[in-house]
Amino acid sequence: MTDRRYQQARLARDHRFDGRFFVAVKTTGIYCRPICPAPAPKEQNVRYFETAIAAANAGFRPCLRCRPDSAPASCAWKGTDTTLERALRLIDDGALLTGSVTSLADRLGITSRYLGQLFQRSVGTSPKQYGLYQQVLFAKSLLQQTNLPITEVALASGFNSVRRFNDCFARVLRMTPRSLRRPGVKPAPEPGIRLFLSYRPPYDWAALRDFLQTRLIDTLEWCGDDFYGRTFRLASGASGRFTAWHRPERCGFEVALEFNQPSAPLPVVRTIRRLLDLDADSSIIDAHLAPIQAQVGIERPGLRLPGTWDAFEAGIRAILGQQISVVAARNLVRQLVAEYGGTLPGSDDAVRLFPTPATLAASRLDSLKIPGRRRQTLIDLARLFNTRPDWAADPEHWLALSGIGPWTIHYARMRGLGDSDVWLGSDLGVKKALGQANGASGKAWQPADASPWQSYLTFYMWSLL
């Protein structure tokens, strides 16, 4: 990107660049999304930043009209350093809400000093300040999009006290929480939380929806023409459910969140963004895959990766799906959820949660009509997550378990972690689609040509079936 391209995208208010950069106006001290509806400032009064936190570090505060906190996540740091990428993901998932920077560094296998140096060099701030900034921006979203009292907003954003919340909010955003409330509107408790999550178009909702519907576990998930939802359980023991309605005219999803007990929803929102792949930059991915799709003769712009709630669920689904049809695998997962999942507190028995590692580790799973070796693999994976959750969070460590091979690892990385560069070449469906595609094009091409977006090529192959 150059200043000339930034200017063109800003003046065009092109949604494809939403979240890829931010526009700061020197005369007002405000930074905006490139799609901001406010009158476009003169170019000599503008500065461009790749990330929102970079604009904030330069002394600018977020716009109240376009709300930079709602923009799709920036990919400015993605792929530059695997340790940094994992650290950012863990912080986004709430690692610093319940732990310290030292414990985060221990999880990454590095010292806290090196972690700080890594952040200062690449992000321009400390891990703690980065995490705090994400909390404050999320609180800003809650203040502007919900009717929650300020006290509940503070707790939902991960702050232990309203006083600390007010101090951090004023220091980071240079405004008070109360100033964001519309005049005359009295905050009052409301059931659940409703938020709007943006994406950069194009977005192939139909392909994502059809994939999720084909593998739908009806007691765990629900899906329709314009919505998807499911239950979830957090590491804290809290549980809940969400429903996301697609709003293509607004380039995003309207999301309703419910919890069975007070919880910080920031990690849940981050997981929903990954599950629906809202932060992908389709313009870049589509351009990378265009030569392959042109040879096949079928274009699918805006493909997104269909996720699962976490790596554990993805691993269990992958093991149950080894060498059988999608329908048979879905039936096995449905049986597992029905027998071992437990009900969502406050709902009827028809709404269930995915089984916990502890539950499966203590079970024999005799009712599942699968080979004994595969049954033991499920138990072994559950025991690994139950005893060493941080270690088990990386699917590469599963290879030590009998019955788990590269296909299972790659499937879990793609659907459970949102890894963009996974090629499932050994998958039977991919093999079938690949044969059809090469036959239709008359030319052979290599999956590596799609790197670092091989996961999207895998999903493209599945979409051809």
Give φ, ψ of 74 to 5 degrees: -75, 145
- With respect to CATH, is domain 191-279 assigned 2.60.40.730? no
Look up tokens 């063109």; give the residue: 8
- Of the candidates 215, 292, 309, the one whose C-alpha atom is nearest the C-alpha of residue 458 is 292
CB 404 within 8 A of CB 431: no
CATH number of this structure's domain 3-70: 3.40.10.10
- Can you tell me the distance from the alpha carbon of 393 to that of 273, in angstroms, rounded to the nearest whole number? 19
Q: Coil, helix or strand for 252?
A: strand
Look up tokens 């030319």; give the residue: 443
Give φ, ψ of 459 to 5 degrees: -65, -35
Domain segments of the chain as ranges: 3-70, 82-180, 191-279, 311-402
- Copy the structure tokens of residue 387: 């005893």
- Concerning whether 204 is annotated as a catalytic residue, the answer is no
The CATH number of 311-402 is which of 1.10.3080.10, 3.40.630.30, 1.10.340.30, 3.30.1370.60? Answer: 1.10.340.30
CA gyration radius for the chain?
23
Strand partners, 253: 197, 246
- Of the candidates 215, 388, 394, 431, the one whose C-alpha atom is nearest the C-alpha of residue 315 is 394
Give φ, ψ of 214 to 5 degrees: -65, -30
- Give the HSE-up count for residue 42: Cα atoms under 13 Å, Cβ half-sphere: 3
* Residue 459 CA: distances (Å) to CA of 115, 121, 363: 34, 35, 34
* Residue 285 CA: distances (Å) to CA of 68, 282, 363: 23, 5, 43
- Can you tell me the distance from the alpha carbon of 104 to that of 92, in angstroms, rounded to the nearest whole number? 12
CB 38 within 8 A of CB 165: no
pLDDT of residue 107: 85
Give φ, ψ of 232 to 5 degrees: -155, 160
Class of domain 82-180: mainly alpha
Q: Which of 92, 204, 277, 427 is catalytic?
A: 427
Q: What is the mean pLDDT of each run of 10 residues along the chain (465 residues)?
A: 81 83 93 90 92 88 87 62 80 82 89 91 87 90 86 87 91 86 60 88 95 94 96 88 95 92 82 93 88 87 94 95 90 95 83 94 92 95 93 90 93 92 88 74 70 90 87
User: Per-residue DSSP letters for 301-368?
Assistant: TT------S-HHHHHHHHHHTTTS-HHHHHHHHHHHHHHHS-BPTTS-TTSB-PPPHHHHHT---TTS
- Copy the structure tokens of residue 250: 């607004």
Strand ranges, E, within 227-308: 227-233, 239-247, 252-259
- Concerning whether 32 is annotated as a catalytic residue, the answer is yes
48 sits in the region (left: phi over 0; alpha: psi -120 to 50; else beta) called: beta
Q: What is the pLDDT of residues 240-254, one digit of tens each?
A: 999 999 999 999 999
Q: Which of 18, 32, 69, 277 is catalytic?
A: 32
pLDDT of residue 182: 67
